[in-house]
Amino acid sequence: MKRRDFLQTTTAATAGVALLSGFPIGAYGYSPELAALTNAATVTNKVLVIVQLQGGNDGLNMIIPVDQYAALMAARPAIALPQSQVLPLTAATGIHPAMAAAQQLYKNGKLGVVQSVGYPTPNFSHFRATDIWTSGSSSDVVLTTGWGGRYLDGEFPGYPTGYPSAQNPDPLAVSIGSVVSNCVQGPVVNMGMAIASTSSFYQLLSGGVDAAPATQAGHELTFIRQVVSQTQVYTTAIQTAASKAKNLSPLYPTAGQNALADQLKIVAQLVAGGLSTRIYVCQLGGFDLHSNQVPTTGSTTTGAHATLLGKIADGINAFQDDLQRLGVQDRVIGMTFSEFGRRIKANSGLGTDHGAAAPLLVFGSQANPIVHGPNPQLPANAGVNDNVAMQFDYRSVYTSILKDWFQVPQSTLVQLFGQSFPYVPVIKQETLATTPGAPVEGFSVYPNPAVDHATAIFESQGDTVLLVLLDGLGREVRRFVDGRRLGVGPQHVPLDVRGLAAATYHCVVREGSRSSSLLVAVGT
């Protein structure tokens, strides 16, 4: 077997695992190329937390289209929630009652929902769909590398020799759980290697590696052990950060009762402890519910899926509470994803089969707390093959977070994903206005206060422009320019504010990396 094939089919997680609070932690190596992706070259302390819901989450049972309840009940009468039990997010959209904590986060401006996220020509295989999401590819393109791994290998063809270094002692990304994400798979070796045990760490310091048989496979094993021993040095950085902070939230469930909460608890501790890691990956499995999604008797508000949804909501809620108590909440944004959703119509086993698009959550104090997009349109009489249609390409969410949170240039995003994707404002736009950088020149609104109409005036440099109005919680209430080019020179954009409640709003204009914001009073 060739080394390339051997390493690509060998998961780094099998090589060794370091335990922190009982959880295995895998560390991804640092790369200037990947650091450029997160703007690490310009000092930033921003953190992205990715929560993977493994198995295919039933989005129609998590975010409920209240305005289409008749169609929903017709498609899944045995598993649908009673309409009276659905918790409201908007007049047309609700959330599962097991996610009461998430509803409160939404009300408090710390949770957003992106409707019907997927990609064209969806794949219904767990393995292939997961590969698509983690590689950032189209469904008709098979990539054996992850998007992060390609950058890492191009920057460090000899990785892991020489890394980490005194200049870059911390991992750029940390995966908590038994699986190392495929997003950092390189062409020869997975760039996200597992940190081994404490005893192996001391062996690393002495430069030793366990002896292996003098065979071809033995040579491969020796190489694997060398790779692992190089990454074990991250154990010190992780343990040092963990020693500098203690979790403060009383909302975490008892250890072992909520795997996601247990993982997020570690993330909060490491962030507050000063680890310079940019990306954390957490996992929650069990969503492949072809049967017994709800109990055979009793309320459909309970059962296997309700339990999982409760773990998501309670885990994220405790995490946000902890971040706030630790004073780091404005540094962290998070998102959930699952490899696919489920079919509109339930099956005969009180479950749902593999489907297409599904909603995802964006959480954090700087998340834009709105429901992005309308509810999915459900047929009056859904068949067994009917799926939720895609509204947002998953890469739109990825690129929008990278652009807004880490200030990644558009050219880098196109290089990373092969093309550009529509922008989705999942980050509060007022956050962008306070991000260090050049302002949009000459920005003003007249008249101010405004009754029915006003005009935004600013100087454009010919880049794409976003012009929005936000309420006091940073939620978008009206969009006037949606990412298009207006030309070079002075711009006079009409603002129609009719129908808005009398209040003071944030008017935000963003052009490329420049942004400005000002307060606009609406009403008499």
Query: Can you give the three-state secondary structure of 155-174, one letter per residue?
Result: HCCCCCCCCCCCCCCCCCEE
Examine the domain organization and report whether 345 and 460 are in the same domain.
Answer: no
Span of 149-163, 321-335, 506-520 with lowest mean pLDDT: 149-163
Range of the domain at 492: 430-522
Examine the domain organization and report whether 411 and 476 are in the same domain.
Answer: no
Higher pLDDT, 425 or 288: 288
Examine the domain organization and report whether 416 and 474 are in the same domain.
Answer: no
Examine the domain organization and report whether 415 and 506 are in the same domain.
Answer: no
Q: What is the CATH number of the domain that holds 462?
A: 2.60.40.3080
Residue 357 · residue 116 · CB < 8 Å: yes
31-73 pLDDT tens trace: 444 444 444 333 457 888 989 999 999 999 999 999 999 999 9
pLDDT band at 187; cut points 50, 70, 90: low
Mean pLDDT of 347-369: 97
Examine the domain organization and report whether 417 and 472 are in the same domain.
Answer: no
Examine the domain organization and report whether 334 and 448 are in the same domain.
Answer: no
Q: What was the pLDDT predicted at 16? A: 39
- Go through 426-440 and write b for each residue having 16 or more CB atoms within 10 A of its CB, e for each that does not: bbbbbbbbebeeeeb
Examine the domain organization and report whether 407 and 437 are in the same domain.
Answer: no
Examine the domain organization and report whether 373 and 439 are in the same domain.
Answer: no
d(CA 241, CA 48): 17
Q: What was the pLDDT predicted at 191? A: 56
Q: What was the pLDDT predicted at 240? A: 82
Number of domains the chain contains? 2
Q: What was the pLDDT predicted at 508? A: 87
Q: What was the pLDDT predicted at 367? A: 95
Examine the domain organization and report whether 210 and 275 are in the same domain.
Answer: yes
Give phi and psi for 24, each to the nearest 5: -70, 140
pLDDT band at 166; cut points 50, 70, 90: low
Examine the domain organization and report whether 57 and 93 are in the same domain.
Answer: yes
364-404 pLDDT tens trace: 999 999 999 999 999 999 999 999 999 999 999 988 888 88
Examine the domain organization and report whether 221 and 333 are in the same domain.
Answer: yes
Q: Residue 246 forms beta bridges with which residues?
A: none
260-281 pLDDT tens trace: 998 899 889 989 998 878 878 8
Answer with the one of 427, 443, 475 that is the final residue of a domain: 427
Mean pLDDT, the chain, rounded, equals 81
pLDDT at 227 over 80: no
Examine the domain organization and report whether 457 and 336 are in the same domain.
Answer: no
d(CA 151, CA 122): 26
